[in-house]
A and B are shown apart, each in its own frame.
Chain A
Amino acid sequence: MTPELGQLALILALFLALAQSVLPLIGAWRGNRALMAVARPAATGQAVFVALAFAILVSAFLRFDFSVQYVADNSNLQLPWYYRIAAVWGAHEGSMLLWVLILNVWTVALTLFSRRLPDAFLARVLSVLGIISTGFLCFILFTSNPFARLLPMPPDGADLNPVLQDPGMTFHPPVLYMGYVGFSVAFAFSIAALLGGSMQQSWVRWARPWTNAAWGFLSCGIVAGSWWAYAELGWGGWWFWDPVENASFMPWLVGVALIHAQAVTEKRGSLRAWTILLSLFAFSLSLLGTFLVRSGILTSVHAFASDPRRGTFILCFLAVVVGGSLLLYALRAPKVAGGKAFALVSRESAILVGNLMFTVAAAMVMLGTLFPLLGDALNLGKISVGPPYFGLLFPLLMLPVVLLLPFGPYLRWGNSEAPMLKQVLVRAGIAAAACAVIAAFLVQGQLKAIAGVASAVWVGMGVVLYVLKRWRDMPRGRRYPAEMAGMLLAHFGVAIFLIGVLLSESLSVTRDVRLSPGQVATVGGYEFRFDGVTQATGPNWTAQQGVVTVTRNGAPVAVMHPQKRTYAHEQVQTTSAIDPGVTRDIYVALGEPMDPNHVEGAWALRLYTKPFVRWIWGGGLFMMLGGFVSAADRRFHVKREAEAAQTVTAVLQESQA
């Protein structure tokens, strides 16, 4: 298939997206069922054409069609097939296409699973998604066409950046985009609710599973990115507060707030306007993330530079989406306010405090990320904000969240009585203190590690106590509905994450050493013997491969093979060797030969022991699982319209009362 067919498919998709965005909106406004009915087939058709375009680009990569500029720039004859597929989203144009494809996947899923939504509401939701899709399709067609030809055709292509030639990188962008784009569904629901202007709150129940699923994907994507940075970049760090990482972290933080606010709105009707505002923010931050990563406006380890037209386009698009939705919010939000009052000690209050912390944290991250731009605009000079800024503020903001977390499930809606909470406080507090004392002996008084153990036990104990309480109090089969199980899983993930972060940050030992073959260095109780360097070859690289034998008290632990790879186009990439374990990772990265003409001699090596570092990603995966499990709750399945209408009126009467 020729690449031009792909472009044609995109143009057809654009027309369908236009139809999908305009006609149902008019239909919903005028009450015209025929126009509303356009939404579903238009969305499906658009998805088919976008998928076709994507398939054509994939096949261009698989067939080495270097007459396509994008293929020639990002792959070559030696690149293995799996990385050629990953190369589709290895650079700007393809990742935008992936963005639109994923938006279409969400849209089609929505049309399939939401057949029972009221017609007008679904028409509005699909129309908002169509508007977003139109924007991105225009962006692709007018500024970053992945199908542009390169004539004459070169005999071989350039290379996919070696940093991206890693299994983690093949699925990190798609999963991350699933999360980013997933927030567009919550966004579309909110806009539809604002447009409808009705007092109904049932839309929140329909939106909840989508938000939870999107957040689960985003968690997974961030975990994958963090794991990739750890394994591939060779610095042994798992988070750098790099602008690109922050770009994905901001929607995540707002997403946490949104998930909890949606629960309040659905169950109690309170905080409606706030929930809507959060879903606008979550999606706007996803767009901002795309903008930050793609415009080249910020300097980061992910070096980008780009066509200024693209930056302008995304900036305008961002202004329209954010400005338009906030304007709509300002006009309509007063109408949707309402809900039941709650006391100071209640689940609502606790969630509100958490919400406040998460949104302030997102704002703090945004300030740190955009500050260099601000400084540039105000002529303060070339500034960058270092990781300690985030490292100081983020834990401070999360402290109240961690302290409140065990009480969460015990708190009642509306008004909560103190004795139960006191019991939790005493039990979790004693457990945390006891574990902290035991830990103090084991970690030689490292304060951070002790705090890590104490906070993790505090949070974990709260979850476990609640699990036991449900087990005792509730009859079989009604103990853990999916929604609650998801919540407990995610909260337990926080405990695991806390262990991972605080223990690995405080107990890791890092040494950069210079070793000649045969020499031994001792790091964190392990002896590392450097046995020299050999040659290794892969499908499209050659490498100098170090051999490092690790022993502990003379007993062998592992033989590790860190590599210094040279790819086809002279790009050099360090590939570290990791010996994984539940309680510790051993990590070896090859630096450089001391004398470049004499690689058999001494080398610089970076040796780490990293206790509990895996628990960081483990915690993240638990959180992801929590998002997915609670999204699957049967309560969220959309009821028939009649029943839904009944609930709405019931709720209305309730809230008016």
Chain B
Amino acid sequence: MNPTRQRRLTIVLAILAAVIVAAALVVYALQQNMNYLFTPSQVQAGEATSYKTFRLGGMVKADSIQRSNDSLKVTFTVVDAGGAMPVEYTGILPDLFRENQSVIATGHMDGARFIATEVLAKHDETYMPKELKDAMAKAHAGKHIDEAANQDKQQL
């Protein structure tokens, strides 16, 4: 082989090897880190049983937020139109965490309750995350989701 061809072959082989390694790693990392979003009614219907950690999305039920007296433990109930799920979380809740506001919690099931490791509330009061809106619409097709929840608001 002449040097040019040899060089090209080396480059092609190097790229190929890198691509294979990268693809394998990406598949591995994706498998470990994909989080699915479910609403309480979907969880209660058993759709989330095959996932160890997942994200739970819904509304915070009014009068359900209860703080522990001596620690940062807090419990609240996340609801959608067809289900309710008690959630336990230890830590500081985000600024926009309120009753009757949408919330997405990441965590796992422990018996009948959901132990959250992270709680996110959206920055904007009138804005419901699009994926949460879709998930709730899917959970009870036909039920009306407030269109005002998707108003044209943005930031940055």
Contact = CB atoms under 8 A, between A and B. Distances in A.
B131 A299 contact: yes
Q: Is the interface of B mostly helix, strand, loop or mixed?
A: mixed
Contacts, number: 141
Contact of B14 (A356, A381, A396): A356
B123 interface: yes
Contacts of B4: 341
Interface string B121-140: 01111010111101100000
Nearest to B127: A303
B67 interface: yes
Given A341-B7, A356-B15, A572-B95, A514 B35 contact: no
A179 B7 CA distance: 35
A611 to B, nearest CB: 22
A92 B67 contact: no
Interface residues of B, number: 50
B26 A393 contact: yes
A396 B28 CA distance: 13
- Chain A contact patch, size range: 35 or more
A303 B129 contact: yes
B37 interface: yes
B32 A388 contact: yes
A305 B153 contact: yes
Contacts of A364: 22, 26
B1 interface: no
B108 interface: no
A357 B123 CA distance: 36
A304 B22 contact: no
B91 A385 contact: no
Interface string A24-53: 000000000000000000000000000000
Interface string A94-107: 01000000000000
A411 to B, nearest CB: 16
B92 interface: yes
Nearest to A169: B156
B123 A512 contact: no
A395 B14 CA distance: 19
Contacts of A385: 30, 33-35
B33 A514 contact: no
Interface in B112-156: 120, 122-125, 127, 129-132, 134-135, 150-156
A192 to B, nearest CB: 28
29 contacts: A90-B155, A91-B154, A299-B132, A301-B120, A303-B154, A304-B156, A305-B154, A352-B11, A360-B22, A371-B30, A375-B34, A382-B36, A382-B37, A382-B134, A383-B36, A384-B34, A384-B37, A384-B131, A386-B33, A388-B29, A389-B29, A389-B32, A393-B25, A393-B29, A514-B70, A573-B95, A574-B95, A591-B92, A594-B67
Given A389-B32, A393-B26, 14 more contacts: A91-B154, A244-B156, A344-B7, A352-B11, A363-B22, A364-B22, A371-B30, A383-B35, A384-B35, A384-B37, A393-B29, A514-B71, A592-B93, A594-B67
Closest 8 CB pairs of A and B: A591-B92, A382-B37, A389-B33, A386-B33, A304-B154, A161-B155, A389-B29, A572-B95
Interface of A: 90-92, 95, 161, 163-164, 173, 234, 244, 293-294, 296, 299, 301-307, 341-342, 344, 352-353, 356-357, 360, 363-364, 367-368, 371-372, 375, 381-389, 392-393, 396-397, 512-514, 564, 571-574, 589, 591-592, 594-595, 604, 606
Interface of B: 3-4, 7, 10-11, 14-15, 18-19, 22, 25-26, 29-30, 32-37, 55, 67, 70-72, 90-93, 95-96, 120, 122-125, 127, 129-132, 134-135, 150-156
